[in-house]
Amino acid sequence: MIATLLVSVLIITAIAVLLALLMVIADATVGNYGTSKITINGDKVLEVQGGQPLLKALNGEGVFIPSACGGRGSCGLCKVKVVEGGGNYLPTELPWISAEEKAQQVRLSCQFKVKNDIAIQIPEELFSVKQFTTKVESLRNLTHDIKEVRLKLIEPATIEMKAGQFIQFQVPEYELTDEPVYRAYSMASVPSDVGHIELEIRLVPNGICTTYVHKHLKEGDTVIVNGPYGDFFLRNTERPIICIAGGSGMAPIKSILLDMADKGSARKARYFFGARSARDLFLLEEMQALESKMADFKFIPALSEPQPEDNWKGETGLITDVVRRMAEDAPEGEAYLCGSPGMIDACIKVLRELGMPEERIYYDKFS
Amino acid sequence: MSDIFFPLAVFFAAVFTNNILLTNYLGMCSFLSVSKELETSAGLGIAVTFVMAVTTALNWLVYEFVLVPFQLEYLRFIVFIIVIAAFVQLIEMIIERYSEGLYFALGIFLPLITVNCAILGASLFMVIREYTFMTSFFFGLGSGLGWFLAILAMAGIRQRLRTAKIPAGLEGPGISLVIAGFMAMAFMGFNGMITIS
């Protein structure tokens, strides 16, 4: 009895070991593609282990390509131009690649495997994009529905960003999502505070990330973010600037203004902030304090529906009307807008009517 | 029937009269889910044929030379599954390395096949019916081709169905199962040609 038992265990083990050994040998021979060189944008060369997906290979070398599904080929975001050594498209890439992208040799980097030396092209800004492990340092209610989240960077410990850029916030699995998802938020912190990131997040009913931040996130929690991304940042000119924001559109504008104060910029700046009533206003003291710190800055909050109990003495009316009345620098200035698509489109129209050329109007639309 | 022709008889029986899909209803899940396009079903069909022929022969060797001598026949389920999984994995690695064309045509289907019950079914039938090595190989090949034939026919019909008017309640899986039933009945017409037990 014992002998039969022993024999059966031994045989099964032997078969399993044999097959496992076979797999290990195969992995080291057939599956071993040696090292391959990845040339990025014609100058930077990385040496990576061959046979792995491009997304993973780049990630391992600290080049972070935005991807929402984590390399499962289900989001179609991690597109990269492979200009040399690309070979044919895999059937798993094709659903995500349009005919136009095919002509430009755009590949889905989580499916495309590096098997030989290749040359790729990625936007220059992605070099500074990293994944950060952070800890929630503080949470603060700015209004009844906007929360300020201050994150302390753990690994890497510092971020190099331009004021106005955004990061992607990773929402872990929880009751509203069964896989990690990413949502983009503008950073409200000043770039010189390299060890922290601040976000201003408005609660959207049933929003996956906003619900997570408002209802589940606690101080001390770990948060994964990646970034910085985006071309919404202060242009290096001497023109007077007009900033217009609504709601959590405050975030990137605050970052830009703090950065200007930080660097002692002499540029003239006007900041129009639109809200419905007093309960939607926030950070008033901080913004007013900037008026004395900056060379020529005025903060102009405006309420469209001030309530009697608000005792509102500032500007009233739709933000577009206030801008039309007060933005005297429009023809020679530049504008930075952040808010809902409706607000931005209306503001662009007003600014153009006031004589500002469209190419000097920069904006960050919430979608 | 003479012994020399027996493997051949089994081969034809496996394709037509004892079609593993249409008489035993094995391998239904991929048969239903991958039969929307002729091209992909052909790819899957070829992959199944290849894997079935080789794993049936492989499992015969393992069964006769390892399990039977040690009286471990009752372990055949688990052993066959491991052998099939390892073989499929190996083949995938090899063709990914050496043949891009083959990888694109077959490779992406291989992971689907590991869990195809028709493959395991063929290996188990071979044991129950006490086939010889040669017969087992032809049985595996025939069963694979039979499965290939069935999914190809199904895909052809489903491609035509796209433009057909189907009662709302029967759309999708409903009509596919009805068609699979008709096909099984049609294949019964081959009965009497050759019989294997």
Please give, rounded to a whole number of angstroms, the shortest distance from the CA of A23 to a CA of chain B.
Answer: 7
Show the domain range for A311: 241-365
Work out the mean pLDDT of chain B and round it to a whole number: 88
Do A351 and A250 lie in one domain? The reply is: yes
Provide, as residue numbers in chain A, all residues whose Cβ is less than 8 Å from the Cβ of B78: 12
> Crossing angle for the helix pair A319-326 and A341-353, nearest 10 degrees?
20
The gap from C-alpha A339 to its chain's centroid, in whole angstroms, comes to 16
Query: In degrees rounded to 5, what are phi and psi of residue A185?
Result: -135, 140
Q: Using the structure block, give the residue that is written with the tokens 């049936």.
A: B56
- Check B104 against A11: CB less than 8 A apart: no
Residues 6+ apart with CB under 8 A from A331: A354, A355, A356
Handedness of CA A191, A193, A197, A199 (dihedral sign): negative
Tell me what percent of the residues of chain B surpass a pLDDT of 90.
Answer: 45
Given a cut of 70, whether residue A367 has pLDDT beyond it is no
DSSP H or E run through A168:
strand A166-171
Which pLDDT tens digit goes with each residue over B73-104? 988 999 999 999 999 988 888 888 888 778 87
Residue matched to tokens 């049609």: B186
Which pLDDT value is given to residue B35? 84
CA closest to B85 among chain A residues = A19
* Coil, helix or strand at residue A10: helix
- For B159, the token pair is 């491609």
Which of A71, A91, A126 terminates a domain? The answer is A126
- Return the biggest CA–CA distance within chain A: 98
Tell me how far apart the alpha carbons of residues B192 and B25 are, in angstroms, rounded to a whole number: 20
Q: How confident is the model at residue B197 (pLDDT cuts 50, 70, 90)?
A: low
Q: How far is A36 from chain B (nearest CA, A)?
A: 15
**Min Cα separation B71/chain A (Å):** 9
Task: Give the mean pLDDT of chain A.
Answer: 90
Residue A4 lies in a domain: no
* Proportion of chain A above pLDDT 90, given as a percent: 62
Give yes or no for residue A5 having a pLDDT over 90. Answer: no
Calpha distance A41→A44 (Å, rounded): 7
Q: What is the pLDDT of residue A179?
A: 76
Degrees (nearest 5) of the Cα angle A340, A346, A347?
Answer: 90
Buried b (16+ CB within 10 A) or exposed e, A288-320: eebeeebeebebbbbbbebeeeeebeebebebb
Spatial contact of A229 and A322, defined as CB atoms under 8 Å apart: no
**Do A143 and A114 share a structural domain?**
no
- Distance (Å) from the alpha carbon of B183 to chain A's nearest alpha carbon: 30
Contact A11 B97 (CB under 8 A): no
Residue B30 has pLDDT above 90, yes or no: no
Interface test with A, best of B79, B80, B91, B95 (most A CBs within 10 A): B79
Residue B1 has pLDDT above 60, yes or no: no
Q: Is residue A312 part of a domain?
A: yes
Q: Which two tokens stand for residue A62?
A: 């600290």
The per-residue pLDDT for range A75-102, each reduced to its tens digit, is 788 899 999 998 888 878 888 899 999 9
pLDDT tier, A136 (very low <50, low <70, confident <90, very high otherwise): very high
**Is A351 in the same domain as A265?**
yes
Q: Over the stretch A19-70, which tens digit does the pLDDT of each residue have?
A: 999 999 998 888 888 899 999 998 889 999 988 899 989 988 888 887 767 6
Report chain B residues touching chain A, CB-CB < 8 A. 62, 66-67, 70-72, 75, 78-79, 82-83, 86, 89-90, 93-94, 97, 100, 104, 108
pLDDT digits (tens, 9 = 90+) for A205-236: 888 899 999 999 999 999 999 889 888 999 99
pTM here? 0.60
Choose, out of A1, A15, A52, the residue to mutate when testing the contact with B (most B CBs < 10 Å).
Answer: A15
> Are A249 and A221 in the same domain?
no
Does residue A362 carry a pLDDT above 90?
Answer: yes
- Please name the residue ranges forming H helices in chain B: 6-15, 28-33, 38-62, 76-98, 100-105, 110-113, 117-128, 133-161, 173-188
B30, with CB counted inside 10 A (0-12, 13-18, 19+), is: buried
Model pLDDT for residues A287-309, shown as the tens digit of each residue: 999 999 999 999 999 999 999 89
Q: Which of A11, A16, A19 sits opposite B70 (nearest CB)?
A: A11
Judge whether A24 lies within some domain: no
Partnered with residue B70 across adjacent β-strands are none
For residue A178, give the CATH number of its domain: 2.40.30.10
Residue A68: the pLDDT is: 65
b/e burial code for range A127-146 (CB count within 10 A of at least 16 → b): ebbbbbebebbebeebbebb
Which of the two residues, B189 and A304, has the higher pLDDT score?
Answer: A304
Q: Say how many C-beta atoms besides its own lie within 10 A of residue B18's C-beta.
A: 24
**DSSP characters for A278-326?**
GGG---HHHHHHHHHHSSEEEEEEEESS--GGG---SEES-HHHHHHHH
Tally of domains in chain A: 3
pLDDT score at B41: 87
What is d(CA A208, CA A62) in angstroms, rounded to the nearest whole number? 28
Residue A25: predicted pLDDT: 93
Kindly report the CATH number assigned to the domain that includes residue A295: 3.40.50.80
Cβ pairs bridging A and B (under 8 Å): 48
**Strand, coil or helix: A39:** strand
A107 plus A192 within the same structural domain = no
Nearest chain B residue to A19 by CA distance is B86
Tokens at residue A348, please?
Answer: 């662009």
Residue A235 lies in a domain: no
Note the pLDDT tens digit of each residue in B40-68.
888 889 889 999 999 999 999 999 999 99
**CB within 8 Å of A217: residues ≥ 6 apart:** A136, A139, A149, A223
Q: What percent of chain B has pLDDT over 70?
A: 96
CA pair distance A300, A129, nearest whole angstrom:
34
Shortest CA distance from B78: residue in chain A: A12
Q: Answer yes or no: do B93 and A8 touch at CB < 8 A.
A: no
- Using the structure block, give the residue that is written with the tokens 């792995």: A52
Partner-chain contact A31 B97, CB within 8 Å: yes
Beta bridge partners of A80: A107
DSSP helix/strand/coil, A209:
helix
Q: Give the span between the Cα atoms of A93 and A53, in whole angstroms.
A: 12
What pLDDT, on the 0 to 100 scale, is given for residue A183? 86
Least confident of A97-106, A264-273, B1-10, B172-181: B1-10
- pLDDT on residue A39: 93
For residues A298 and A300, what is the distance between their CA atoms, to the nearest angstrom? Answer: 6
